[in-house]
Structure 1
Amino acid sequence: MNNYFATVARGLEAIAAKELTSLGAKNVRPDFTGVHFQGDKALLYRVNLCARTLFRLLVPIAEVKSYNAQQLYRQVYNLNWAEYLQPNMTIAVNCTGQNQHLNHTHFTALKIKDAIVDRQRKTKGKRSSIDIENPDVLINAHINGDRCILSLDSSGSSLHRRGYHSAMGNAPLKETLASALLDMAEWTPNIPFLDPLCGSGTLPIEATLKALNIAPGLERKFGFQTWLDFDESLWKKVVDEAKEKQLSTIDVPIVGSDKNKNVIEQAIINAKECGVENIITLKQQELSNIQPPAEKGIIICNPPYGKRIGKESELGELYQLLGDTFKQKFTGWTAYILTGSRQLTKKVGLRTSSRTQVYNGAIPCTLLKYELY
């Protein structure tokens, strides 16, 4: 079995660990903003294709000493890069973390790149070109104290980029966070779903993809597809297995609405991009006019809270309207509000049954749960 490390948003480590276990990962161990696990090459492909809550899947290849730039250069130079890279392949290096002597990630990445191409010149007489946009091999370096963990990034671009978000509203949720919120709310495909403030549709679209068991990575490319050891027949098998598990219909409504006509049009475009426009219901509607699409279900919404959209002082009426609408029209439902404002939550006027801390990007937020009796 190989060792892998999946990067995730802060606070979602346990959710991601559970998902990885469901996909067949072994020896799963959550860490800060990531999850360690083990598996074979088929698992590497399957996780990239099917995981809904991860950012990147890294394959650690070496841990070297990195007290300063000179030591890091020597250690990286001494590695056998021909195992992963040929001079006709392009590369890029991303770096995270720092120590006293390596405190600028761009400089650290540059030293690692220099060591790799200098080694190639010495052993092959030629070197790889740099392609920061779409490299054949993307190398991830993480400085932790006087050690540097070097990994191959098997995902390429971040896994939150499903490929359907061609139309975006203001400050949309990342797809990975939307999927994690569905898990945190314990939503399952047999439960009606509503987002009354859906914007460009990320939450209801992610719910629909999950309900139909559509692998989120079917419409994109991955970093491992240009690696020297890429197994095309195994990849095809993994993709075919994922497609065989897809459903074509669901038995409960999944609804998104928003008062803004433009963002609903964006949501419809996004739904068409991933082929679920005939399954999901997306409509322009004022919050005050909304009606339950079923007797019971789950509401999840992400109203503005004055950090990226709107001013906190002007949003109190919206939160009060949310609370009134839930109380008056949604008896029997369970509602969740993701917000980054403690003051605005007081305007909802309902008692929470739980509060879960979560990060929306770098913004600390709370997922509030309301049981509506």
Structure 2
Amino acid sequence: MEKFFASCPRGLEPLLAEDLAAAGAIDIQTLPGGAHFRGDWASCYAANLNSRIATRILWRVAEAAYAREEDVYKLALEVPWPRLFAVERTIRVDITAVKSPLKSLDFTTLRIKDAVCDRFRRETGARPSVDTRAAEVRISGFLTADRCTLYVDTSGAPLHQRGLRQKTVTAPLKENLAAGILRLSGWQPGAPLLDPMCGGGTFLLEAAQLALGIAPGARREFGFMRLASFDAGVWNKLLADAHARELPVAPANIYGADRDPVALRAALANLDRADLLDAVELIEADILDLDAPAPAGVMVANPPYGERLSELEELATFYPLLGSALKRSFAGWNCHIFTADTRMPKLMRLSPSRKTPLYNGALECRLYEFRMVAGSNRPK
């Protein structure tokens, strides 16, 4: 059994734990932003392939107490790097620190890189090259106040990069955060789903993959493929099983709308590139004028947050209109709105039935649920 750490958007840790358990992980321990777990390589591969929530799966290769940069260097030098990957692989080293006493994280990063190269030189007479942009093997150091842990990244590119989205719009949601919001909304494939402010279509892409049984990692490569431990037989079996579960592309009761034709073209291009266009119905419309596409269903929306004063004033005018539109046109729907603007429910004159704290990167947000009923939504 190996030891791993999976990272995820903060607030989605319970969903991450579900994904890891489904992949065969054991001893799962969540903490803000991720979870430690144990498992064999098959569970590592399965987590990378199937988790819609994880950002990275990191393989723990060393851990010890430290006080100085040289302690970190010695810890890294003890790792048998030539047994983990070939010297021809390019490398990159990154460090994350919480309350570390070290003065220069850049220098500490350099010392880890030196240790990796020194160990290779000692055993093979050669050293790997560094590539900070597209490294084949990523090595991560995590420093607390007194302990250093070293990891090898098994994911490669972050797992939210499904290899599907090409056209982007302003501030798109990361795919794993969108997948988490969909799961928190309670939406199930087959039920009507609407994103009335779809932008580049991230919610639509995630929902269509769910509806058609497409594993989020089925169309991309992973860092573990470049490690000496890679078992192609185990991986090919997992991938074949994943492809066997996929359904033919067909209308899936998923609807997207946006008033911006540029955003709508981006959503169309992304869905088309992912071969998911036939699963989704797109229309150009303003949410304030939009009719519900079904008598009941789930709405998910990620409206602008408002970063400038003029935008905040526009949103203060928009929210009451949005509340009226939801009451008028979406009775019978569960509406989930993700925002960092805590004024929204009050200005919409709606009482949320639930609010879930989530983070979009470092930005603290809320996922508000509004259960729309005919007439007033206020309790008597």
Taking the aligned partners of 2:28 and 2:119, their CA distance within structure 1 comes to 35
Q: 1:358 corresponds to which letter in structure 2?
A: L
Equivalence for 1:114: 114
Contact kept in structure 2, 1:304 and 1:310, CA below 8 Å: no
User: % of aligned pairs identical?
Assistant: 35
Equivalence for 2:376: none
Q: Which runs of 5 or more residues in structure 1 are unaligned?
A: none
Change (3 A) 1:255 1:237: same
More moved, 352-361 vs 300-309 = 300-309
How far did residue 87 of structure 1 move? Answer: 2.4
Taking the aligned partners of 2:327 and 2:44, their CA distance within structure 1 comes to 45
* Runs of 4 or more consecutive aligned structure 1 residues displaced over 4 Å after TM superposition: 249-252
Partner SS for 2:265: helix
Taking the aligned partners of 2:30 and 2:309, their CA distance within structure 1 comes to 33
Taking the aligned partners of 1:191 and 1:106, their CA distance within structure 2 comes to 50
Contact kept in structure 1, 2:321 and 2:348, CA below 8 Å: yes
User: 1:353-372, aligned counterparts within 5 Å?
Assistant: 353-372=353-372
Q: 1:30 corresponds to which letter in structure 2?
A: T
More moved, 355-364 vs 340-349 = 340-349
Contact kept in structure 2, 1:138 and 1:156, CA below 8 Å: yes
Q: 1:298 corresponds to which letter in structure 2?
A: V
Change (3 A) 1:259 1:97: same
Contact kept in structure 2, 1:69 and 1:101, CA below 8 Å: no
Contact kept in structure 2, 1:322 and 1:348, CA below 8 Å: yes
Taking the aligned partners of 2:151 and 2:71, their CA distance within structure 1 comes to 18
How far did residue 148 of structure 1 move? Answer: 0.8
Partner SS for 1:96: strand
Alignment RMSD, CA only? Answer: 1.7
Contact kept in structure 2, 1:28 and 1:38, CA below 8 Å: yes
Contact kept in structure 1, 2:251 and 2:279, CA below 8 Å: no
How far did residue 344 of structure 1 move? Answer: 3.0
Partner SS for 1:246: coil
Taking the aligned partners of 1:298 and 1:187, their CA distance within structure 2 comes to 6
How far did residue 66 of structure 1 move? Answer: 2.3
How far did residue 250 of structure 1 move? Answer: 5.9
How far did residue 241 of structure 1 move? Answer: 0.5
Equivalence for 1:30: 30
Taking the aligned partners of 1:336 and 1:309, their CA distance within structure 2 comes to 25
Taking the aligned partners of 2:218 and 2:98, their CA distance within structure 1 comes to 35
Equivalence for 1:299: 299
Equivalence for 1:185: 185
Deviation readout 1:12-59 (Å, 9 max, x if unpaired): 111211222233322222112111222221111111111111100011
Equivalence for 2:278: 278
Confirm whether residue 157 of structure 1 aligns to residue 178 of structure 2.
no
Equivalence for 1:345: 345
User: 1:189-208, aligned counterparts within 5 Å?
Assistant: 189-208=189-208
- The normalised TM-score by structure 2 is 0.94
More moved, 296-305 vs 213-222 = 213-222
How far did residue 308 of structure 1 move? Answer: 8.0
User: 1:130-149, aligned counterparts within 5 Å?
Assistant: 130-149=130-149
Contact kept in structure 2, 1:312 and 1:344, CA below 8 Å: no
Contact kept in structure 2, 1:305 and 1:344, CA below 8 Å: no
More moved, 221-230 vs 36-45 = 36-45
Change (3 A) 1:273 1:116: same
Taking the aligned partners of 1:309 and 1:276, their CA distance within structure 2 comes to 38
Taking the aligned partners of 2:310 and 2:169, their CA distance within structure 1 comes to 14
Taking the aligned partners of 2:243 and 2:92, their CA distance within structure 1 comes to 32
Equivalence for 1:248: 248
Taking the aligned partners of 2:236 and 2:244, their CA distance within structure 1 comes to 12
Deviation readout 1:196-252 (Å, 9 max, x if unpaired): 111111112111111111011122211111111211222111110001111125675
Contact kept in structure 2, 1:5 and 1:57, CA below 8 Å: yes
Deviation readout 1:111-130 (Å, 9 max, x if unpaired): 10011111222232211111
Contact kept in structure 2, 1:98 and 1:105, CA below 8 Å: no
Equivalence for 2:82: 82
Equivalence for 1:171: 171
More moved, 258-267 vs 66-75 = 66-75
More moved, 250-259 vs 63-72 = 250-259
Contact kept in structure 2, 1:98 and 1:104, CA below 8 Å: no
Change (3 A) 1:2 1:362: same
